Amino acid sequence: MAVQKNTSAIKSQPKHLLGIQNLSIQEAKKILEEAKSFINLNRSASKKLDILRGKTQINLFFEPSTRTQSSFDLAGKRLGADVMTMNVSNSALKKGETLIDTAMTLNAMHPDIIVIRHQDSGAPNLLSQKVNCTVINAGDGRREHPTQALLDALTIINRKGKIEGLKIAICGDILHSRVARSNIYLMNMLGAEVNVIAPKTLMPRSIERLGVKSFTDMKKGLDGSDIVMMLRLQNERMQGSFLPSKREYYEFYGLTPEKLKFANKDALIMHPGPMNRGVEIDTKLADDINVSLVKEQVELGVAVRMACLKLYCK
């Protein structure tokens, strides 16, 4: 597939991708459109382009990540950028200092793109005020994970042909989930109807104001849905008791073939990973290639990130 070399960055775009909330529908569609062109490229034998030749991309990860980090890493390399990944291990106390100090240091090295993941909501916004290169959010606290939502959208479009009119159920630890928030914004924007399902203690306050219906009963929440997005229980973000036990959680909120029956017959399952098998999802279901899109999500993640890097890097 021929790829235009000369596509300029999105002109009207602020040069940072900080969240879906700041994105217009045209911008979102443009990214998805661009990403489609990379899907086949990534499947071909020769994957390397030179769109970002001479550009420097720094992946700044304050939180451990495997798939997002490697995905951004590959995406940058396939576009010809020089990619450097920094895993910033930090003590709780020095987090903030490290962010600004590191940002200033890195900025002095003239990177073109910084991809940041940080445990604090809003950290990429702060970073974007301090550096003069493009900042791409690879997940901040519980706020946003825009490229995850975009890759989820691309995966759905790839399978279902569209998003508009679909019913999407997002189930699990909504409270701590940036993936849920970004997906709510994006799927709503693209015309889907979104249900969120969680036990009350893991449901954020005023979530309906984000344009979703909320359910505590999984069966009701799944009713008629075309896509079931399962989320990981983020035990590392939980302080104190949110749930009686994993066993009870699985009983009421774990996705099993029985519960999936409440969704549409041709419903597909997604999960941003990593999965807690037997906690939020039945292990066989997770691996069932007829219903599970998990592997495809990972695959298309690279294409979406290539699109973002290309469009946002001036």
Chain residues that interact with other proteins, rule: CB under 8 A: 21, 95-96, 99-100, 118, 120-123, 125-126, 140-144, 178, 181, 204-207, 209-210, 239-240
Are 283 and 250 spatial neighbours (Cβ–Cβ below 8 Å)? no
What amino acid occupies position 131? V
- What minimum distance in Å lies between the beta carbon of 99 and other proteins? 7
**Facing residues of 292 across strands?**
269
Of 142 and 310, the one with the shorter C-beta distance to other proteins is 142
Put the strands of the sheet holding 167-171 in their side by side order.
213-215, 193-197, 167-171, 227-230, 268-270
Of 66 and 241, the one with the shorter C-beta distance to other proteins is 241
Are 103 and 95 spatial neighbours (Cβ–Cβ below 8 Å)? no
Q: Tell how strand 268-270 and strand 113-118 pair up.
A: unpaired
Of 3 and 126, the one with the shorter C-beta distance to other proteins is 126
Are 231 and 281 spatial neighbours (Cβ–Cβ below 8 Å)? no
- What minimum distance in Å lies between the beta carbon of 63 and other proteins? 12
- What minimum distance in Å lies between the beta carbon of 178 and other proteins? 6
Taking Cα atoms as reference points, which of 273, 227, 233 lies closest to residue 254? Answer: 233
- What minimum distance in Å lies between the beta carbon of 125 and other proteins? 5
Of 76 and 139, the one with the shorter C-beta distance to other proteins is 139
Of 54 and 240, the one with the shorter C-beta distance to other proteins is 240
- What minimum distance in Å lies between the beta carbon of 93 and other proteins? 9
